[in-house]
Structure 1
Amino acid sequence: MVQIHIPPSLSPPTPPAAGILFALGGGVILSVNDLAIKALSGDYALHQVILIRAFVGMAIVLSLMAYSRRGFAQIRTERWREHLLRVGIVMVSNVTYFLGLSAMPLADAVATAFISPLLITMMSAVVLREYVGPRRWAAVAVGMLGVLVMVRPGSGVIQPAAILVLISAFCYASSNLMTRQMRDTESAATLSFYVQVGFIVVSSAMGLWVGDGHLAQSDGVLVFLFRPWVLPPLQDWWAFAATGGAVGVGGLMMSQAYRTTEAALVAPFEYIGMPMAIFWGVVVFGTWPDHHAWVGIALICGAGLYTLWRETVHKKLVDVAAPSGDI
């Protein structure tokens, strides 16, 4: 049997609380990306936004690599096929999500996308063979209930744009499972580096092909994809910087969360993005949540805090007793 040597520096023992905190921090930071993309969707082509965002994100990733212990050696990889597949999945997830986001209210789009933690939990059990016990299923279910309470989905939510967001959620869940599968040989910086490379290559190609706007439509979500490139005025650069910084930092944190911690454990904490969508609605648009929204926030935060408590307070008991079941 051929044994594969796994560099210890790529898969150090990490307490579950660290992965949870990475997921929470990444979710909060990535919510800024949604806000910025929504702000830019009315005036710029999607591939122009993604290209500028990718350059900002790449600068962050390379800066972190430069100061890390392994440096730029992390760029070297023997798993280019997996990277190529993962980059393609991430690309589809981004394009479908942002097309849907451009045609939906921010909170509705974010809530629809949060089918992904449930998908991640189910797929981690089937694909990764990770044990998913009743308490983790309960955390996902309570978080999803909180999202449904906040949005109260009706006929207005199930629309073509929402279908795009659902496709994005499936792709997002798949990409995070691939992150989990590649954790032994690829660092979070490596994973993020190749995603940014993919964004730069594809967005540049799209700009050369349709950047003049010859395929632009007068209405519909596709106008966001085929709108001509324009030179952004100074007042819009905050949004470009925000989306690039959010993806650069938040993406690294989320990759680290799924690399070091079981997917089914991390997934429920991505629901932090829903309260953040409400928060940005208050700060940016001046719309306060109603009582239903506050109940939803309580359910989401309560489920997350309960899971965090279980994983930290009872971790010592698990280490001593070494049970085979879920904690």
Structure 2
Amino acid sequence: MSAPVVSVDATPVRAIALILIGMACISVNDMLIKLLSGGYPLHQMVFIRSVIGIMAASVFVWLEGGWRILKTERPGLHLIRALLIVSANMIYFAGLSVLPLGLATALFFVAPLFITLLAIPVLGEAVGRHRITALFIGFTGVAVMMLPATDWSDIPRAALLLPVIAAACYAGMQVMTRKLGAKSAASAMAIYIQLAFIVVSCVSYFAVGHGRYAEGLDSESLIFLLRAWVWPAPEDIWKFAVLGAMSAIIGYCLSAAYRLGNAATVASYEYAALPMAIMLGWIVFAERPGWIMLLGTALIAGAGLYVFARERHRAAPGEVPGPAAERPLRRG
């Protein structure tokens, strides 16, 4: 069941406020997961986060029209979409456990560039020299961050690829969603995603929750994925509670912002997450950004913002924007 269409010009300030709230919550969410990654497995965090999140999202469902809005004509599409988001999240969080917060966030922001790239074979879109140049600059930023620098010389090079792979998964989901034309209320989409997280984390518990596969491993990312479940320590319970609240707010804010505002305009405000992540990394984890990280971040952010500027320039009034600006770029 499709939610009613809202004029993009009616509430631009509200859309921008929603996306900024969503970005702030994502930054806090990532910070908490990184804080907890040393003592708990990822699938346990995802399960607790999603159980709390789905309860909070249910309140938004009730406010937006009740359980009837969960009915959809495309359940298969929502399932594929949710599983791709779950994959992007799990891969990203595995990288986040060993990477500086600001660095992981910056590398994930190649998602709009992947979306533009995938639009060529999947959607048959022509990409001109301006966006090709932006793609080259953005991926140059990724290459710069992959240099063997003293900023993170103790981090395995392969770990730097995890946020990039997560961004590619996320981009594939976005392009597929646009191609198939799925539409639902913001709260309904948040419920679908939380359900997918719960199912995947339960399957992970039965497959690897005993922790035997983590024994003898050196990779912190793999240990994070395969570690045994443990009961949360009293001092960590509030962190899990906040994670759940962040999950519900993120899912709602991102979906609602893109339904209320012009997609390319709203998407450009997602880059507020970059300084937020760098600041939290500095304050909480003492991760002082070096010049290589700042240069790579500037190249990626500049390329992504340029892609969105081109989308606004190309789209006439009433015209559907291009794929890079169609849906939220960040994780749900």
TM-score by length of 2: 0.75
Deviations 1:118-165 (A, max 9, x none): 22344456645778788888888888888888x685465772212222
Separation of aligned partners in 2, 1:271 and 1:144? 17
Q: Which residue of 2 aligns with 1:227?
A: 227
- Pairing partner for 1:14 from 8, 32, 37: 8
The structural deviation recorded for 1:103 is 2.2
Identity of aligned residues (%): 38
Q: Which residue of 2 aligns with 1:166?
A: 164
Q: Which residue of 1 aligns with 2:78?
A: 83
Equivalent runs, 1:41-190 vs 2, <5 Å: 41-68=37-64, 70-124=65-119, 127=122, 153-154=147-148, 156=153, 159-180=157-178, 185-190=183-188
Separation of aligned partners in 1, 2:302 and 2:17? 15
Check 1:223–1:73 CA distance in 2 against 1; reply closer, same or farther (3 A cut).
Answer: same
Deviations 1:291-316 (A, max 9, x none): 7777888889999999999999x9xx
Q: Which residue of 2 aligns with 1:193?
A: 191
240-249 or 183-192: which moved more?
183-192
The structural deviation recorded for 1:105 is 2.1
Deviations 1:175-222 (A, max 9, x none): 333454566631221211111111111211221332222222333121
Unaligned runs of 5+ in 1: 1-5
TM-score by length of 1: 0.76
Classify the secondary structure of the residue corresponding to 2:214: coil
Check 1:163–1:281 CA distance in 2 against 1; reply closer, same or farther (3 A cut).
Answer: closer
Deviations 1:206-253 (A, max 9, x none): 213322222223331211111111110121123212322222111222
Unaligned runs of 5+ in 2: 323-332
The structural deviation recorded for 1:44 is 0.6
Check 1:296–1:204 CA distance in 2 against 1; reply closer, same or farther (3 A cut).
Answer: closer
80-89 or 153-162: which moved more?
153-162
C-alpha RMSD of matched pairs (Å):
4.0
How many residue pairs get matched?
313
Q: Which residue of 1 aligns with 2:22?
A: 26
Separation of aligned partners in 1, 2:28 and 2:136? 25
Letter in 1 for 2:199: V
Q: Which residue of 1 aligns with 2:239?
A: 239
Asked if 2 retains the 8 angstrom alpha-carbon contact of 1:216 and 1:226, the reply is yes
Check 1:139–1:257 CA distance in 2 against 1; reply closer, same or farther (3 A cut).
Answer: farther
Separation of aligned partners in 1, 2:245 and 2:236? 15
The structural deviation recorded for 1:12 is 2.2
Separation of aligned partners in 2, 1:25 and 1:300? 22
